[in-house]
Amino acid sequence: MEFTAQQIADFLGGEIEGNPLVKVSSFSKIEEGKPGTLSFLSNPKYSQFIYDSLASIILVNKNFNPEKEISATLIRVDDAYQSLAVLLSLVEQTKPQKTGISELAFIASTAKIGENAYIAPFVYIGENVTIGDNIKIHAQCSIEDGVSVGDNVRLYSGVKIYNDCVIGNNCTFHSGSVIGSDGFGFAPTEDGSYKKIPQMGNVIVEDNVEIGANSIVDRATLGSTIIRKGVKIDNLVQIAHNVEVGSNTVIAAQTGISGSTKLGKQCILAGQVGVAGHLNIADGTIFGAQTGVPNSVKLPNQTLQGYPAIPIMTFHKAAIVHKNLPELQKMIYAMQKKIEELENKISSISE
């Protein structure tokens, strides 16, 4: 499908600079722009590419001030990245949608499936499962006994949802994600071995949650592990038993959250963050990449980094000192040598 700059601007509520009749039928990165495509500029470090880009239409923020002439038609919007997301979502919705239930899927007789379902071959749906409308379940997914799944949920291939878990509406789970696996609960015994503690709880995932490929959310020992509404979890993330993740929190790849920790609302955890167990993290907390969090965070809306996690400005100052440690060590050794020489001179004079 083709759209003119005018149609796109009208849809986004943007302002056109250039030819309103130019048409696009695809998207491109600004540094790889091609005629007939739409691109965007939101990060200033990519500004250099806009002047040579061959993209026909480029979304920019309203406050963008070009340094020289731009050949593409610009559409000025409040937030170029957010506007691109709106357009991409619109295109995604226009793609043909698979429907129907494959004869090669196993669905227990007590399971209830809503309207307009797509269930691919080799899907397993257990006893007393309840699934809402407009579900998309791709190949080799497993939904075990007693699970409840809401409306407009998509499970990509290989997703596993263990028994008795609860999934809200408008959720997406990417390939290989596991919901409700056993928490890491083992009790030490007198002979030095470990006895498994049965994990009797479940996982509750609220509405509008997205979980990335090969990420794991463990079931609670007792009660529920809870992922609140609007949470976005990247690939390769581990959420341990009895954790609660506050609404609209974002967690990037290779992050691990230990058992019984409670994350507040609208937190951001960058890549490879490690959070110890039984902590409380205040709303709006941001942890930079590779931060280690051994203690609770009580004050909201802080940005922390390092191990142990400290305010980011303190971390930056400490990083400068750390970088200079070899030179500082040389200076200290030189000062020690001079002090020893002065002490020897003083001793010789006093004798």
Query: How many other CB atoms are found less than 10 A from the CB of residue 313?
Result: 10
The three-class DSSP label of residue 224 is strand
CA distance linking residue 121 with residue 137, whole number of Å: 9
Q: Which candidate in 241, 278, 316, 322 is catalytic?
A: 241
Query: How many other CB atoms are found less than 10 A from the CB of residue 131?
Result: 23
The three-class DSSP label of residue 191 is coil
DSSP category for residue 219: P
Cβ atoms of 60 and 46 within 8 Å: the answer is: no
**174: annotated active-site residue:** no
CA distance linking residue 190 with residue 302, whole number of Å: 44
The three-class DSSP label of residue 344 is helix
Query: How many other CB atoms are found less than 10 A from the CB of residue 69?
Result: 6
The tokens of 146 are what? 């007693």
Active centre residues (catalytic) = 241
